[in-house]
Structure 1
Amino acid sequence: MTILDKLEQEYLLRTIESGVGLTERRQLFLWTQGAFQALLPHEIMLCVTLDGTGAVDHVECLHRAVLDRAALAQLKADVAPALVTRWQAERAMPTVINANDIALRATGMDHALVHGSAQQGAAGTVFALLGMPSRPDARHVYFLQLLLPYLHLGLLRMPVAASARQGADSAPARPLSGRELAVLDRIRAGHSNEEVARQLGISALTVKNHLQRSYRVLGVANRAHAVARCMALRLL
């Protein structure tokens, strides 16, 4: 049982009271920079919505650290899906991730704490707190569990997340070619570009080009989202 001191109780009550009714990205960001920081200090929060298969559907990045465009794109396209996979591998329980973990290594940050609302292989939300000043302990885990419902509702109410979910089942700009679908089907099975190239008798660069064209057609930014869209559209 976690016993809170008087100051922690005050911070928690203040965070809960101010977390009711979050509906916009700016509101969610400001909320996480107030008393929330006293309980769960962090530099970056990745807010991830999962589709009906448990795959990454949309990523919001709330950050107090200065990030360039390339770093932001990497966090959304690579780091967020990797952290979600690690969390899912831990049976959707609060997960502490250290710098030596491959999912976090590219960020240059020492610690992360990940937890979400989704069941295995189902729709929901996942939140990853990166750049915490020390290794997350049992108290941090407890605070995240308490505040998860407010994070979850705040993300689902955001217009950007809502529009992404509404567009998930819309038809692509054009039908995907047979070769594009063949590449995506093998990506879904977990194969790398080089493995797909060997299987289809083409170069890894050609595989990459097929993927880039598929992303544009599907309106997505990465392979996990592309596979999720194809699954939602019953193309694979």
Structure 2
Amino acid sequence: MNDVVILSPLEQEYLLRVIEAGARVRDMRQFFLWTQGQLQALLPHQVMLCMEYGPGDSLRRLECLHGAVLGEPVQRQLADPVHGLAAQIARAGRDGWRMPAIAVAGQGGAPAAVQQRLEKSGFDNVLVNGSGVLAGGASVFALLGLPMKPGPRQAYFLELVHPHLHFALLRSSHKETPRAAQASVAAARPLSAREAEILSWVREGKSNFEIGSILGISALTVKNHLQRVYRALGVSNRAHALARCHALGLHDPGAAPLAPPRRA
């Protein structure tokens, strides 16, 4: 992005408002309202993917923020911690995709894996910026569904805003109760065999109804099990649960089991 970008007086005002409001963000509710408010005036978008990495390039957190309702299949396409668009973007960045970066469906501009995931997601474009490797952990932010085809101007705006997004997200993640902070390191308790089984089907992309049919239980029972899983992992939805399990290494070969062994 070598184009010289000069901000108009109105754009300068929008940028200042974004920075001022971002400095007051202290939790995820405020972070969400900020990204859906002041940031939308400067960089309108439908979805924001926020990826926070810890030392050693391990995914510590993945947030999928959106003002409109997204179906579970779309959320999985975007935020699956292993195969989703967010993961593809992060891997492409590590492999040298220059930031800030732009991809438009059907028009290239991104590595093939990212382009394929973008086209499957149902969004026309994505605008990405990453912090690069940092001692305390990196961050990557991706905006999807911009109303216009993003260009160097929008990429420059995201580059300017990125440090404020980065620190606001860090403050939001660190503004936790002691119990939530503990949950961010490890599960509050081992998952039961049934909970682990349901979570494995969630990872396969199955709906509550489909999981219930497979296991011979109702969709409501599946939902109740998932609510207990969310509390145990300290998360709020399916994508976050999968991301937390990935961060904890619970899906890795040789990892400690999600559930304690069954009694004989």
TM-score where L is the length of structure 2: 0.61
CA contact (8 A) 1:116 1:127 kept: yes
The answer on 1:85 being equivalent to 2:91 is yes
Displacement after TM superposition at 1:161 (Å)? 8.6
The residue type equivalent to 1:107 in the other structure is S
Q: Which moved more, 1:162-171 or 1:103-112?
A: 162-171
Q: 2:69 aligns with which of 66, 72, 88?
A: 66
Report deviation, 1:73.
3.5
CA shift at 1:112, angstroms?
0.3
Matching of residue 48 in structure 1 with residue 51 in structure 2: yes
CA contact 2:60–2:247 (8 Å) conserved in 1: no
3-state SS of 1:128 partner: strand
The equivalent residue for 2:116 is 102
Aligned equivalents of 1:61, 1:165: Cα separation in 2: 22
Q: CA deviation at 1:172?
A: 8.5
Q: What is the CA–CA distance in structure 1 between the aligned matches of 2:181 and 2:120, rounded to whole Å?
A: 27
Identity level (%): 37
Hey, what's the Cα distance between the residues in 2 that align with 1:144 and 1:225?
A: 30
Asked whether 1:112 is paired with 2:112, we answer: no
Say whether 1:149 aligns with 2:149.
Answer: no
Picking from 127, 134, 137, the partner of 2:141 is 127
* Whole-angstrom distance in 2 between the partners of 1:63 and 1:51: 24
Give the 3 Å change call, closer, same or farther, for CA 113–122 of structure 1 in structure 2: farther
Q: 1:47·1:60 contact (CA, 8 Å) conserved in 2?
A: yes
Aligned counterpart, 1:167: 184
Cα pair 1:92 1:120 within 8 Å, conserved: no
Aligned length in residues: 193
Aligned to 1:209: none
Deviations 1:79-109 (A, max 9, x none): 2111212232335521112224113122111
Matched, 1:229 2:249: yes
Q: Provide the secondary structure at the position in 2 that maps to 1:158.
A: helix
Q: Kindly tell me: are residues 110 and 120 of structure 1, through their superposed partners in 2, closer, same or farther at Cα, counting changes over 3 Å? A: farther
Q: Which amino acid in structure 1 is aligned with residue 21 of structure 2?
A: S
Tell me the equivalent position of 2:109. Answer: none
Distance 2:182 2:127 in 1: 25
Matching residue's letter, 1:56: L
Q: CA RMSD in A?
A: 3.5
Task: Tell me whether 100-109 or 114-123 shows the greater mean CA deviation.
Answer: 114-123
Give the conservation status (yes or no) of the 8 Å contact 2:62–2:79: yes
Q: Deviations over 1:35-61 (max 9, x none)?
A: 321221100001111232324332111
Structure-2 change in CA distance of 1:92 and 1:114 (3 Å): same
Q: Which amino acid aligns with 1:167?
A: S
User: What is the rounded CA distance, in whole Å, between the counterparts of 2:174 and 2:119 in structure 1?
Assistant: 29
Judged with a 3 Å threshold, the aligned counterparts in structure 2 of structure 1 residues 64 and 113 are, in CA distance, closer, same or farther, namely: same
Give SS of 1:155's match. helix
